[in-house]
Structure 1
């Protein structure tokens, strides 16, 4: 989905939910200028520890999912897209292109050892180059025996639980859990991974087209060097493989995740 610019050209207002840098190795997650998450990176070399303190007050950008809404069924991704577009008060959408789609597979450990459950303080080990590839809730996950979670566990067993909403954050190489904390707790209590809808910021048209032009120039140069050699059966197979790789690279460019902005 595309979010149009508002306000003066070239100066759209910041979204309600946004990251801001507060120092060379510090940043904060703000919602309507209220801090929800304070982060500080420590350590030398390429691998750092990220110290987090989460604060109360997170408002989901989605309205509560009622029992009637669950019974009505329907396409959750489209429903979430409509709600997000209407949720300027609490959501992360800023001008540009976004992808909202079901996320059905995760690497092992994402919803277990890489799910940050300590509250309010936690420390995660960032991999070389940044990120840890986990899930970070913005409020505590309730215990499996709390009334709300117990009621949702029945839906988890029946496969009627509404999906949670994840926001992919590039510099964490992981996700923020924006909506569905109790649903996530219910699914995990039943030994299953929560159904997920993933929100990802995409590159602007000018950016991915510039990358495509660069890839095309490089591909044409490699093909010219290959064609300068005598044609053989091996040559034909190599040419076919290079053409296939070039097509695959171009086909994903408009949909690859873009960098998550951090405002000054």
Structure 2
């Protein structure tokens, strides 16, 4: 498979420029026209049903997940975790070739992350199965972690094996997918590794997959920012005064920093139209024998 362009941003950060993939990806979100009903599908299998309630800045997203999720990564063996391979780059290669992953045309960043805000991995980790309720956008958003399969118990055999790796510092990172309309992350791979790290009192090390802005967007933003910078620095040249050079240098430094980050700003997570719209969603919800709140 042609892996397309890869932009290396250091040892633990890169951007994939994915091109020429026809249609939606195997793992994809679908939505009704009003975006109040969501469906996560892998192939033809429904995995998650979501219904938004509330209006204004505060909404709740009621969830029901179904069994059957399959990771886009191959199983990670103990020897592989101890091999010292660069896991950000390894995960990128696996995702590009995955027959059941979320990559579609566009730019995707993968980066290692070891520090999270307080509450992400405890208060806002959705431990309930199969249901759940996310408080979105109220007080700054949800910003938690959503498992796509039921979490194992801390004494499950695989978790116990991973706990040893956690103590040794050889546990492979969890693969998270930043989902913009959830204002949080979904676990793509590493559910048992996450449980193992948490059981050992550690924050799971992660590789985060994020859709970032396309080239046309960030180049247009860069041109607009450059024009703004020139308009704000021009008066300093027209009317020199003591300290003008220092003032100009600070402004240009700030603009340069902003320009450098424009290509890597998070973009919205794609959703595709739900075939059959609300009626299709209602049918799936009824088949799941789950009663969602009404609008």
Answer yes or no: same fold by TM over 0.5: yes
Separation in 1, partners of 2:50, 2:245: 53
Give me the TM-score of the superposition, normalised by structure 2. 0.83
Q: Structure 2 unaligned runs (5+)?
A: 1-15, 274-295
Separation in 2, partners of 1:145, 1:129: 36
Matched, 1:5 2:15: no
Q: Structure 1 unaligned runs (5+)?
A: 7-11
Q: Secondary structure at the match of 2:251?
A: helix
Structure 2 counterparts to residues 1-264 of structure 1, below 5 A: 1-6=16-21, 12-24=22-34, 25-87=36-98, 89-128=99-138, 131-233=141-243, 235-264=244-273
Separation in 2, partners of 1:208, 1:128: 29
The size of the alignment, in residue pairs, is 257
Separation in 2, partners of 1:129, 1:32: 35
Separation in 1, partners of 2:141, 2:63: 13
Separation in 2, partners of 1:65, 1:252: 33
Q: CA deviation at 1:129?
A: 9.1
Separation in 2, partners of 1:207, 1:106: 28
Separation in 1, partners of 2:254, 2:82: 45
Separation in 2, partners of 1:225, 1:28: 53
Q: CA deviation at 1:219?
A: 1.5
Give me the TM-score of the superposition, normalised by structure 1. 0.92
Contact 1:130 1:173 in 2 (8 A): no
Q: CA deviation at 1:262?
A: 1.2
Q: CA deviation at 1:179?
A: 0.3
